Chains A and B, each alone.
Chain A
Amino acid sequence: MDAVDRVTGALVRNYRAGEAWLIDAKRATYGVAVARIGYGVVVVGFVVANFPVRDFIWGPGSGWVKPIQHQTAWFFPFVFYSSNDPGWLFTLKFLLLGVTGLALLLGWHSRIAAIATLYLYISLVSTNPVAYDQTDNAFRILLFYFCFTDMSARWSLDARRRRRRRRSGAPLPRRWLPVWFPTILHNGAVVAVALQLFIIYGVAGLAKVAGSQWADGTAIYYPLQLDSLDPWPWLAQLVTANPLVVNIATYVSVYVEVFFAFMLLTRWTRIIALAGIVSMHVGIAVLMGLPFFSLSMMAADGIFIRDLSYAKAQRYVQERTVPWLSSRRRAILG
C-alpha cells in the first residue's frame, strides 16, 4: 500500500510541477527573444546575400526551373512569388521579405512580423527545388513554433512601447483571452522547439553513426573538398592538415548531436553541450559557408539558456555600457 501511495504521490507532485511550469509564467522569454533576433538577422542576411542573384534563382530569370517546380511548390496562398512577375515587381516583393525580417529583428509588431516573414519565406523558397536546403526546413518549422510564443517580451520595440505606455499611465489594450491561455501557448511552443531540436540533433547524430568516415574520424574532411562548400580553400586545407584535429572535430560532432538532449539535464553538462553545439555551428558557418543554416539552429538553441543567466548578462552589460553612453552623451551635448 505504501508503495502505491508513494508512486501516486510522486505522480501527483510531478503533474502539479508540470502544471505550474506551464501556467505560472512564460518561460525562456530571453531565449525566445534571442531566437526572434536571430531569425531577423537570418532573413535580412538572406535577402542581402541573395539580392544580386534573386532574379536568376526565383525571379524573371528562373523560368527554366518550371518543369521541376512542383517538387517543392506549396498550395494557395503560398504563391506570392512568381517567375512571371516583372523584374521591378519581383524586386519589391523580395525586399518586402527583408522588411518583415527587419521588423522581426527589432521586435516591431513581432507576432505579425513573424507570421508575415514565415509566409513570405515559404512562398519564395518553395518556387525553386534546386535552391532549397535544410536551412529552409529548420527555419520554417522552428519559426512556425516560435509564432505561438511571446517573442516581444524582451529586447524589442514592442516591449519598449508597452513599458512607456505603462509609465505614462495610458490604458493597456483590452485582453480578449484569459491570462493563462497565451502563457500555455507560449510555454507549449517552447517545449515544441526543444523537442524539434532534440529530433534534429538526435536523428542527425544517429544517422552518422552508421558511416565509415564518421567511425574512422575523417568525415569532416570530405564536405570541405566540394567546390560548393569550400569558400576558403586555404582555411579548409589548414584545418584538415592535422589528422588529430580532424578526428577530434569529427567525433565531437557526432557525440554532441547524439547526447545533446541528455546533456541538457544538468548545469555543467548543459554548458558543455551548448558550447559543443555552438562550436559545431560556427565551424559549419565559416568553413562551409553556411552561416544562415548555423544561425537558424543556434538562434533556437538559445532557449536552453536560463532566463536568470540572460538577465545576469544583461545587467553586466548595462552596468558597463549605460554610464559610458551617458558620459558620451553629456560630452557631445556639452
Chain B
Amino acid sequence: MVVVVALILGWHFFFTYTWGTSSIALRSLIGTDLLTSYMNPMFTQGWAVFAPNPGSTNVSLQVRAMRPATKAASAEATPWFSITGSDTVQFVRYHPAPSRMYLNNYLLGDRFHGAFLAMSAGVREVVGNDYYGSGWLNRLKADLTSQPNPAAASYIEYEQTVTGLATAIARQRWGTVTAVQVRTVSTPAVPFDQRFEKVKEPSSYFIEGWRQPLDVPGLDSAIIQDFYGKRDGS
C-alpha cells in the first residue's frame, strides 16, 4: 500500500515540481502538452512571487472623455480621472482586509500596457490613432494585423475590456460623451537609498487614441455610479 501511495504522490508532485520550476530538461522529459493538460486548471500555480525582484512600479489606469459641443461651449476634453487612484482611496487605504479591488484595475492597467508592449514596435503606433464609428474595433484589429502580429489578438481583448470599462465610468462621471481615451501612467518607486529625499521618479505614459464609446450590454451602471460617479467636481 505504501508503494501505491508513494507512486501516486510521486507522479503528481513530480509534475507539480516540474511545473513550478520551469526546468527545460524536466519539461522535455514529461512533454509540455502532457504537463499542461495534467496541471490545468486544478493545479495551475506559479510561486515565483516578488521574484526575481518585487514589482516596484505603480501603474495608474486613467480615463478622460470628450464632451459634446453645446450652445455655450465647444466640444472639450475632460480632465484625466485616475481609476486606480480612486480605488486606492476607496478600497485600499486603511482597510485591514482589502477587497479584490486592491487588484482589479491595477492589474487591468498593467496587463493592458503589457499587451501593448508585447506587439512589435512597427505596429504599436497604430494604437495612437483615433477610431470612431461603428465597427471601429474591427478596423483597429485589421490595422494591427496588416503585418504579422501574433500579439494583436491579446491586445484587442484588453482594448475592448478597458474601453468598455472606461466608457461606463465616463458616462457615469461626465454624462453624455462622444469619445473616450485611456492611458496608463507608470511611476517607478523611489530607490531605497533615496527614500527620505523629496524626489519622485519620472513617469512614463502609454496613451491610446480617442475611441468611440463602447457600451457593454447588460452592465448595471448603478454599480459604476456608486464607485466612480462624479463627486468631486473634476
Say whether A associates with B: yes
Residues on A lying within 8 angstroms of B by beta carbon are 15, 18-19, 22-23, 45, 48-50, 52-53, 55-57, 59-61, 63-68, 72, 74-75, 83-84, 87, 126, 128, 130-134, 137-138, 140-141, 144, 180, 184, 188, 191-192, 195-196, 199-200, 202-204, 206-208, 210-214, 218-223, 225-233, 240, 243, 246, 286, 289, 291-292
Q: A227-B84, A228-B87 are in contact. List 19 more A-B contacts (CB 8 A).
A: A22-B1, A61-B219, A63-B217, A67-B161, A130-B104, A130-B108, A131-B100, A137-B45, A188-B8, A195-B13, A199-B16, A203-B20, A204-B49, A207-B52, A208-B51, A227-B85, A228-B92, A289-B96, A289-B102
Q: Which of A48, A138, A199, A225 has the most CB of B within 10 A?
A: A225
CB closest residue in chain A, given B91: A53
B84 to chain A, nearest CB (A): 7
Q: Are A226 and B100 in contact (CB under 8 A)?
A: no
Kindly state the separation between the CA atoms of A323 and B36 in the bound complex, as whole angstroms: 57
Q: Are B48 and A130 in contact (CB under 8 A)?
A: no
CB closest residue in chain A, given B89: A227
Q: Are A22 and B54 in contact (CB under 8 A)?
A: no
Q: Are A184 and B5 in contact (CB under 8 A)?
A: yes
Kindly state the separation between the CA atoms of A289 and B95 in the bound complex, as whole angstroms: 7
28 CB contacts below 8 A, A to B, read A15-B2, A23-B1, A49-B98, A52-B99, A60-B223, A61-B222, A64-B161, A64-B165, A67-B160, A68-B158, A126-B41, A130-B107, A138-B45, A184-B1, A192-B9, A192-B12, A199-B20, A203-B20, A206-B21, A213-B53, A214-B51, A219-B50, A222-B53, A228-B87, A228-B106, A229-B102, A231-B95, A233-B93
Kindly state the separation between the CA atoms of A223 and B164 in the bound complex, as whole angstroms: 29
Q: Within 8 Å CB of B105, what residues of A? A: 130
Q: Are B223 and A74 in contact (CB under 8 A)?
A: no
A326 to chain B, nearest CB (A): 35
Q: Would you list which residues of chain B between 6 and 53 have a CB under 8 Å from chain A?
A: 6, 8-9, 12-13, 16-17, 20-21, 41-53
Can you list the 10 inter-chain pairs with the closest CB atoms, starting with the nearest? A61-B223, A207-B51, A211-B52, A225-B189, A207-B48, A222-B56, A64-B164, A60-B220, A218-B192, A131-B100
The A interface, classified by DSSP as helix, strand, loop or mixed, is helix
Q: Are B96 and A56 in contact (CB under 8 A)?
A: no
Q: Are A231 and B92 in contact (CB under 8 A)?
A: yes
Q: Are A204 and B51 in contact (CB under 8 A)?
A: yes
B110 to chain A, nearest CB (A): 9
CB closest residue in chain A, given B109: A130
Within 8 Å by CB of B223, from A55, A84, A240, A289, lies: A55
B58 within 8 A of A: yes
Q: Within 8 Å CB of A60, what residues of B? A: 218-220, 223
Q: A22-B1, A68-B158 are in contact. Are A225 and B58 (CB under 8 A)?
A: yes
Q: Are A61 and B56 in contact (CB under 8 A)?
A: no
B190 within 8 A of A: yes
Kindly state the separation between the CA atoms of A140 and B108 in the bound complex, as whole angstroms: 23
B69 within 8 A of A: no
Q: A50-B99, A188-B5 are in contact. Are A65 and B161 (CB under 8 A)?
A: yes
Q: Are B5 and A200 in contact (CB under 8 A)?
A: no
B103 within 8 A of A: yes
Q: Within 8 Å CB of A128, what residues of B? A: 100, 104
Kindly state the separation between the CA atoms of A51 and B207 in the bound complex, as whole angstroms: 33
B131 within 8 A of A: no
Within 8 Å by CB of B218, from A55, A84, A134, lies: A84
Q: Which of B84, B104, B221 has the most CB of A within 10 A?
A: B104
A100 to chain B, nearest CB (A): 19
B231 within 8 A of A: no
Kindly state the separation between the CA atoms of A196 and B14 in the bound complex, as whole angstroms: 11
Kindly state the separation between the CA atoms of A52 and B224 in the bound complex, as whole angstroms: 12
Kindly state the separation between the CA atoms of A84 and B102 in the bound complex, as whole angstroms: 24
B101 within 8 A of A: yes
B92 to chain A, nearest CB (A): 6
Kindly state the separation between the CA atoms of A222 and B191 in the bound complex, as whole angstroms: 8
Q: Are B103 and A199 in contact (CB under 8 A)?
A: no
B9 to chain A, nearest CB (A): 6
A69 to chain B, nearest CB (A): 9
A164 to chain B, nearest CB (A): 34
B116 to chain A, nearest CB (A): 14
Q: Within 8 Å CB of B111, what residues of A? A: 130
B138 to chain A, nearest CB (A): 13
CB closest residue in chain B, given A201: B47
CB closest residue in chain B, given A74: B41
Q: Within 8 Å CB of B51, what residues of A? A: 204, 207-208, 210-211, 214
Q: Are B47 and A232 in contact (CB under 8 A)?
A: no
Q: Within 8 Å CB of A191, what residues of B? A: 5, 9
